[in-house]
Structure 1
Amino acid sequence: MKQSTNLFIVDDDADDRRLFIEAVKEVGEDIECTSAVNGEEALEILKDPANTLPDYIFLDIRMPRVNGKQCLLEIKKDDRLKHIPVVIFTTSRDVEESKELREMGAYHFISKPTDPDEIFYLVSFILAFPHS
């Protein structure tokens, strides 16, 4: 039996989280999706040893409290978490910011999808390629 893939979405926009989770359900039955409303909550969940670690983290860059950059830095500093690929969602098209985030350890940097089909294809594409 194939083990399920665990995705973790971190976004302060409830509609965007709901859209992502609904689109992911269409990608496959073996994909589980959990979420956090900001970077602070995400780090609490990720650092709790009682929780299963996700296979991928989808992280909004612009959030209150602990923003996406701060969250990414904390993830990449933690020996237990640093191997998890982090896909950055943003509304920014700033090439320098994209470069900075890649240097900080982001796995991928993409414009925030706004429609379920975009999310479906994005998640399908990312899951099709094994990460190391």
Structure 2
Amino acid sequence: MQDKKICFLIDDDEDDQEIFSLALDTLDIDVTCITANDGIEALNRLNIDTDFTPDFIFLDLNMVRMNGRECLAEIKKLSRLKKVPVIIYSTSSEQKDITETRMLGADDYIIKPPSISLLVKRLEQVLSRDS
């Protein structure tokens, strides 16, 4: 039997966190969502709790204390997370943002969809890729 997957969502919008969790709950994949409210909180958790290694990291770009690009650069410095896919999860559909985050090491880019059903489909694609 396969272990439960852990998704680490870094997003400062509580509504987006809730929508993301609801979408994950509808998937036919055994997955837990752990959240951080910003990049600083996320990096503190990742740096202090060295036993915490999520299977996927979903990262918002537009956060107040530390933006997603800065957080992504710091995550990529942590050698134990080298194989953990980092997926940008943002409202921005700007090609510049997609290109820049790919160059910084993001594995994928999800534009926050207008409905939970579309998010579910997109998450299924991302999460089943590495099953």
Q: Same fold (TM over 0.5)?
A: yes
Percent identity of paired positions between Structure 1 and Structure 2: 37
Distance 1:79 1:46 in 2: 11
Equivalent position amino acid for 2:42 in 1: A
Equivalent position amino acid for 1:111 in 2: I
Task: Give the structure 2 partner of residue 95 of structure 1.
Answer: 95
Q: Deviations over 1:64-116 (max 9, x none)?
A: 11111010000011111232111102222221221111011001112112321
| Maintained 8 Å contact 1:46/1:81 | no
2:50 is the counterpart of 1:66: no
For residues 23-102 of structure 1, what are the structure 2 equivalents within 5 Å? 23-28=23-28, 30-102=30-102
Aligned residue-pair number: 131
Equivalent position amino acid for 2:79 in 1: D
Q: Which moved more, 1:56-65 or 1:25-34?
A: 25-34
* CA displacement at 1:50 relative to structure 2: 5.0
The RMSD of aligned alpha carbons is 1.6
- TM-score normalised according to structure 2 size: 0.92
Distance 1:71 1:78 in 2: 11
* CA displacement at 1:29 relative to structure 2: 5.5
Moved beyond 6 Å, runs of 4+: none
Gaps of 5+ in 2: none
